[in-house]
Each structure stands twice: as structure tokens, then as C-alpha cells.
Amino acid sequence: MTSPVIASIRLLIRDWRGGELGVLFSALLLAVSVVVAISGFVNRLQFNLERESASFLAADLVVSSSKPIPAPWMDEASASGLARGETITFSSMVISEDDEMFLASVKAVGGAYPLRGALSVDKGLSQASTDIPEPGTVFLAPRLVQQLSASVGDEVYVGDATLTVAGTLLSEPDSTTGFFGYGPRLVMNTANLDETGVVQPGSRVTYRLLVAGESDDLTVFKEWVEPQLVQGQRLSSVDESQPGIGATLDRARGFLLLAGSLGVMLAAAAILVAARRFGERHTDQVAVMKSLGATRATIRQLYAFSLAWLGLISIGLGSGIGW
């Protein structure tokens, strides 16, 4: 006696050759392809938008403080498996070799800054860079270069420090934060910060600890540091700092899911029509099997296996097409 599985495969092959399954298979294939394609696109869009929006912070999480970041916090970030960077932002007069002076927004950077996004620096002679300035050097915003009449290789003075211009700062990932609006940007290395003598008790300075990593590690660090925040300290994430990004993502996801739902509804309607046609055309076949002694359970099992094979094939091909 032929097993139901083998018999169902034979039935499926015969119906396919007879053109019985074309519409039903196409409807199933369309439904699976639409669902997989929409889901995959939404997930990729969400991932890319979150990565891009993180560049507005240059990190996944940022701890801001009006006082130096406690060393244990930095140690905890490293212990949690997170990449770490730091910035110290303040305003200061910058003086050129020709005694030209201009108020700049100075940002001292260190560690792995930036953790998200990249610096864009023109070093002259068709050279570009995404690295932070080496100790003893600075990057100047184009406006500051113009105001100081400076060029690559010239020296500028920030407080008591003499620093060499190493390039023109074209863009920075977190340019929307801090004191950027108080003057054009000057980026220096934290190794030269003490040398400037600018940061003194009472100075208006913003310290930032930047961290980035896996979601679970970020959650652990966030839950650890939040209870320790005091006045003048703040923990910021991408969603909190750029709420417009999240709203845009939610709207895009809604529209895409709506389009996917409409596609699935159309496919479901086609499946219903095809299934009804399939049932009507197999009425005589079922009657013949009953007359030959097949029980209702046997017939149900036979068609259940046959449709299951069809479904598996549709899911496999549809997933491949949609992905």
C-alpha cells in the first residue's frame, strides 16, 4: 500500500502537469514574496536610519556633564564591552601667527572619537583624512581658516598652547551639539588640553563621554549609570536627541506595512478564488476515490499532504524572491 506522503507527491505532480495548481501556486508565491520583501525592507531601513541618526551624536549613548566625567564611569563603559570616546567643548580666542584673533568653539577629542559617523578633513595637496588631530595639531573650520588667514602648517595659539594647523575641518558627525553656534569649530587632541591652560575652575565647559556597541551592552551601561546622574549631568540616546528621526521612521514603517497589507489582501483573495476552483475541479476525483474504498480520513490526509508540499515550495521560493 502506497504511503500517504508518496501518494500526495504523485497527486501534486499530476495536478501541476494538468494545470490545476497554477493560480493557487502563483497566489501563494505572491503573498509570501510581498510579506518577506516588505518585512526585510522595513528592517533594513530601520537599521540604516538608526545607524545614520547615531552619527548626530557620534555615538549610541552620550553622557554630558558640566564637570569632568568620573573615571569609574569610563571604566564601566569599557567593562561593559563598549567602545569609548570623549569630547571636551568650550569657547576660546584663537590667535594666528599674524596676531589675528577670533572666538572659536574648541572641541578637544580623544579615545576612539567619533564612534559613529566620521570626521571629514582636507589636509591640502589633495589629501583627506577621517582621523582625529595628532597631539600638537588642530583642525580649523573653513570660516576660522579665513578669519585667521591660516593654512596647513601654520601655527595658532589656544591659550598657552602653540598648535600646528593640520587641516581644514569640512564636517563632523556631532556638529549640532555643544557650543558650535558660538563660533567656528577648532578641533584639537585632548593631550594638549592642559597645556592650553584655558579650562579653569568656573569655566563654561561641556564634558562628554561617548559610548557605542551592542544593544544589550548599551542597556547594561545605561541602567548602571542613570541612577548616578546628578544635576548638570545628562544621558542622551539617538531617540531622545533626534525625535524627528524616530517619528519619520514610524511613519515610513506604517506606510510600508500598509502597502504590504494591501498586497497580502489581494493575494489572499486570489488564494480563495484559486482554492475554490481547485476544490470544484477535484470533486469528481474525490468521488472516484471514495468509490474505490478510500475513507474520509485518508482523502483528507492525502490532500493535506499535497497542499502542505505546495505551501512549502511556495514559502521557499517566495522567501528567496522577497529577500
Tell me which amino acid residue 82 is.
L
CB atoms within 10 A of CB 189: 18
Write out pLDDT tens, residues 239-272. 665 566 667 767 776 777 787 677 778 777 877 8
Joined together, the cell numbers standing for residue 219 give 542597556
Write out pLDDT tens, residues 121-160. 988 765 556 789 999 999 999 999 999 999 999 999 999 9
Share above pLDDT 70 across residues of the chain, in percent, rounded to a whole number? 85
Determine the average pLDDT of the residues in 304-312.
Answer: 80
Burial 37-74 (b: 16+ CB within 10 A, else e): bbeebbeeeeeebbeebbbbbbbbbbbbbeeebeeebb
Give residue 258's pLDDT.
Answer: 80
Write out pLDDT tens, residues 212-232. 998 899 999 999 999 999 998
Determine the average pLDDT of the residues in 155-183.
Answer: 81
| Per-chain mean pLDDT for the chain | 82
